[in-house]
Structures are given as structure tokens and as C-alpha cells.
Amino acid sequence: MIDLSQEEILAIYLSLKIAFAASIASLPLAILLGYLFARKEFLFKKFFISLLNLPLVLPPVVTGYILLIVFGINGFIGKFLLEYFNFTFAFKWTGAALACAIMGFPLMIRAIKASIEMIDIKYEEAAKTLGANRLLVFFSITLPLALPGIVAGFSLCFARALGEFGATVTFVSNIPGETQTLSTAIYNFLQVPNGELMAMRLTLISIFISISALILSEIIFDRILRNKREG
């Protein structure tokens, strides 16, 4: 077993914590918006979808910079949060999670929206005739039938969050123990003399984590699909 330094362990721990926090926090909103985009028609729908997809096409550094303007200590939301709730995203791990969530959100919502669009509305009608109200239909029929898409969306967002670099480093910098993730740590080691060995170790670790996460999501995916062939 490789002997990990305190700094490395912290970076791994922070990477996982930030990726999980980003994915879990975005999940309810992504399900809600995915459902709205899949089922409802409303004004400026295409505009909202494009806006949410923006982080996919913008350079990450731009997204990070916008976050800094909005949520930074002097940003208009950041200032408000600090004044009234004594809370700030700036240079905190929560800020890194926010950056990751915004970068991963388009991928998550895309998978969830697609899987909700695939659901045959007939099952929901049948549930209603059996006495289920809208909310119950959503939780007992729509959500379970959309589960493969939700799992796929979650793992895509998680993977994106693990690899996130540009927006994070721009928004919350690269502070060991607070905002330094695996990717920013690798970048850091490449900037100092004789850091290649450390960078290589972290690279291997990050490959290991990514592959484990992918295998895990494949296993969950299979489990769900086994019970969910066409009725």
C-alpha cells in the first residue's frame, strides 16, 4: 500500500466530499426541472434550457469568474448571504461544491429529462384510475420508472464534479485542506520542482476512484433495468 501524505489524504477526502455534496444537492432540483422540461410547455422554455446548458459550452474559467462576481464576497448574492446569514461560498469547500454542481447540472438534467420523456404516460393514467393523486403518481410511478435516468444523471454529475478544475480554481482558488481537490492538487504539484512523482501518485488515485465510481453506477444501473423491462 502506498503511504499517503496528510495533504494527499485531505485532497482525496475533499474531492469526494465536494463531488457528493454537489451531486446530492443538485439532484432534487434536477428531478423537478427535468420533469417540468419533459412534461410542461411554458414561456421561454428553450431559453431556460439553454441557460442551464451554458456551463457545458462556456470555458470553465468564465463560469468560475461569473460565480466570483455573483457569489464572491462583493458579489450581489454573496454580499447578501454574508450580511443576513453570515454565510459565504468564497474560498470555502461549499464554494467548490457550488462550482461543481453548476458544471455538472446540465449533464444530470439531460439524463433525467430524457428518461422522464421515455415514460409512457399510460402508466400514470392507470395509477390515477386506481385512486392515486398527482403527487402520489409522481412518487410511486414516475420517479421509479425514471430511476435509470436519475442514476445515470447522478453518476455523470459526480464524475464531472470529480474532474472539475477551471471553475473551481477560479472561484475558490486552491487552498490545501479547504478547496484543494485531486485535480487542483495535481496541478499544484506540476508547478513545483520535483513534484512529478507526487502528481503521478495522485493521478493513479484519481483513475482508481473514477473507475470504481463508474463500475458502481453500472452495477446499480443493471439492478434497476433487470426489474424494469417493458411491461
Q: Which residues bind other proteins (CB under 8 A)?
A: 122-123, 125-133, 136, 140-141, 144-145, 147, 227-231
Let me know: does 131 contact 144? Beta carbons within 8 Å.
no
Instruction: Between 126 and 192, name the residue whose CB sits nearer to other proteins.
Output: 126
- The nearest distance, CB 231 to other proteins, in angstroms, is 3
The answer to whether 64 touches 102, Cβ cutoff 8 Å, is: no
Least Å distance, CB 147 to other proteins, is 8
* Smallest distance, other proteins to C-beta of residue 223, A: 12
Q: Which is nearer to other proteins, 21 or 137 (CB)?
A: 137
As a whole number of angstroms, the distance between CA 32 and CA 108 comes to: 12
Tell me, what amino acid is at 156? L
Shortest Cβ distance from residue 142 to other proteins (Å)?
A: 11
* Minimum distance of other proteins from residue 118's CB (angstroms): 12
Which residue reads 417493458 in cell numbers? Answer: 230
Query: Residue 49 belongs to what H/E stretch?
Result: helix 45-57
CB closer to other proteins, 141 vs 186 = 141
Which residue number, 65 or 123, has a Cβ lying nearer to other proteins?
Answer: 123
Nearer to other proteins, 34 or 64 (CB): 34
Contact 86, 7 (CB under 8 A): no
The distance from CA 215 to its chain's CA centroid, rounded to whole angstroms, is 18
> CB neighbours of 197 closer than 8 A, spacing ≥ 6?
none
Taking the C-alpha atoms of residue 32 and residue 25, their distance in angstroms, rounded to an integer, is 13
Alpha carbons 159 and 143: distance in angstroms, whole number: 22
| Measured distance CA(89)–CA(211) in Å, rounded | 30
Q: Tell me how far, at minimum, the Cβ of 31 lies from other proteins, in Å.
A: 16
Residue placing its CB nearer to other proteins in the complex, 45 or 223: 223
